[in-house]
Amino acid sequence: MVTFVDRVTLHLRAGKGGNGCVSVKREKFKPLAGPDGANGGHGGDVVLVADPQVTTLLSYHHSPHRSAGNGGFGMGDHRSGAAGEHLELPVPLGTVVKDADGKTLVDLIEPGMRFVAAPGGIGGLGNATLASPKRKAPGFALLGTPGWEGDVILELKTVADVALVGFPSAGKSSLIAAISAARPKIADYPFTTLHPNLGVVEAGDVRFTVADVPGLIEGASEGRGLGLEFLRHVERCTALVHVLDCATLDPGRDPLSDLDVIVAELGAYPVPEGQTPLLERPQVVVLNKIDVPEAQELADFVRPDLEARGYRVFEISTVSHAGLRELTFALGEIVAEHRIAAASAPAPERIVIRPQGSEKDFTVRVEGGTYGPVYRVEGVKPLRWVQQTDFQNEEAVGYLADRLEKLGVEDELFRVGATPGATVVIGGDDGVVFDWQPALTSAAELMTAPRGTDPRLAQNPRRTTSQRRERYHERMDAKADARAELEAERIAQRDGEVEE
């Protein structure tokens, strides 16, 4: 049995960027011809694509874990790593993408719309790219950054022109089957329809879609029955058709009371900001099952009251197809008028994405700790630079220190009161912890040292001139004290011999 799924949680992992390469070109008569390590490839993105041919999120319900390809490693001789393969996930029209906190990211309502849900990691730079006139042969390369990994929520809201609403077993599935080519399951018990059904209707020159929204009962807007799960499928419709059962055998029910309950539930359901409330949209009332004699009498009885409320009323029978032509042409007129009004409306304001360079690239926050204050550095650039650093390579660590100093992290740490040896964390809870030493901020490009090392990170055992002079004076003072002590003992011994 095919299951309809309109809400899933996807666990996405974008591709990791490939590491850069450390290599030096070697040829005959040119043992050191310069660095030729290439860059790593970027990781693949996970992209959501609105596809009209997809109607359900069922495949993602069964396989929610999706990942893109990783980028290839850079190689010597300037051979860059291959980019990771992108993963495109087709989703139905009307899919709303939300983050794990429920914030709406994008609404995919147009065919072909694309949204990068998980951006891939950045490939690391090789030592050929890092070379400069001051650093001719870098002994390090940058690592690739990990791709985005997390959860997104896909919520399907059916895109239809007309929505059929009403109590269970009111004949909505029979109506959509009678006016379109849709073949929903039809039975004589409540909640036969467990998912919205879509049908395409042609009325003259107008073609429009009709959605059957199941499970509306009293309290549906508060979560009773199946109504809350499927009321969101009414949000995008142009018109509402209230299907009322005139042949119900349930005691205490009649078309007017059923209409009052459904109207109350539709009014209590909040629509997203910017959309027309459900009860302010065009509404039509359909009195169904008039092929039953008692139902025809009841329809004739309640029709004046419904028209007095301002509704346009149609009496139909899905068995004999009575009144269906008039109903479909009336709905076609409503849809056509709405489309003309929408076409003449001003185009929505285009979303402009501006670069974030004007904002501060990082922040330094002072946190209390058991062993003293902890200075946490947060920001996109510092975190990315840490991810790109190979901490087993001293020269790479020195390069990281230079980048942080040029960004202004050094000055900011001084401003907030950090002292040499203070604990500094770059990133969140899983960030890199190190003891801050301001001496690491001098230019690494001007230092000469073996490839892959940074002399600023090594302890210099050689004493300065002042230290040697101080040590010399200490030794001379110690010798003078020792001679004075020996002389005192000799004099004391001599005096004792004279007294005897």
Count Cβ atoms below 10 Å from residue 96 Cβ, excluding itself.
20
Whether residues 133 and 55 share a domain: the answer is yes
Q: How far apart are CA 433 and CA 415, in angstroms?
A: 20
Note whether 140 and 82 are same-domain residues.
yes
CA–CA dist 89, 44 (Å, integer): 13
Mark whether 201 and 299 lie in a shared domain: yes
Report helix, strand or coil for 282: coil
Could you give the count of Cα atoms lying within 13 Å of 35 in the half-sphere of its Cβ?
A: 24
Q: Are 333 and 314 in contact (CB under 8 A)?
A: no
Q: Are residues 384 and 439 in the same domain?
A: yes
pLDDT tens across the length of the chain (500 residues):
344 567 899 999 999 999 999 998 888 877 777 899 999 999 999 999 999 888 778 889 889 999 999 999 999 999 999 999 999 999 988 888 999 888 888 888 888 899 999 999 999 999 999 998 888 888 899 999 999 999 999 988 777 788 888 887 777 778 888 887 656 555 454 444 445 677 778 888 888 888 887 655 554 444 444 444 557 777 778 888 888 888 877 777 788 888 888 888 788 877 777 778 888 889 999 888 888 888 888 888 888 998 898 889 898 888 888 888 898 899 889 888 888 887 776 656 655 555 555 456 788 888 876 777 888 998 889 999 999 999 888 888 888 888 888 888 888 888 888 888 888 888 887 888 888 887 544 444 555 566 666 665 565 666 777 888 888 888 888 888 888 888 888 888 887 776 66
- Whether the Cβ atoms of residue 105 and residue 113 lie closer than 8 Å to each other: no
- Domain CATH code at residue 398: 3.30.300.350
Please choose, from the candidates 305, 317, 312, the residue with its C-alpha nearest in 3D space to the C-alpha of residue 283. Answer: 312
Q: Report whether 114 contacts 49 (CB < 8 A).
A: yes
pTM value?
A: 0.69
Is 194 among the domain residues?
yes
Per the annotation, where are the binding residues for Mg(2+)?
Answer: 173, 193
User: Same domain, yes or no, for 56 and 134?
Assistant: yes
Query: Is 283 among the domain residues?
Result: yes
Binding-site annotation: residue ranges:
166-173, 191-195, 212-215, 288-291, 317-319
Q: What residue numbers bound the domain in which 106 lies? A: 1-156
Whether 136 and 205 share a structural domain: no
d(CA 385, CA 318): 67
Is residue 479 one of the residues assigned to a domain?
no
Judgement on whether residues 305 and 179 belong to the same structural domain of the protein: yes
- Give a yes or no: residue 242 inside a domain: yes
Neighbours of 417 (CB within 10 A): 10
Provide the CATH number for the domain around residue 284: 3.40.50.300
Give the annotated binding-site residues for GTP: 166-173, 191-195, 212-215, 288-291, 317-319
Same domain, 53 and 140: yes
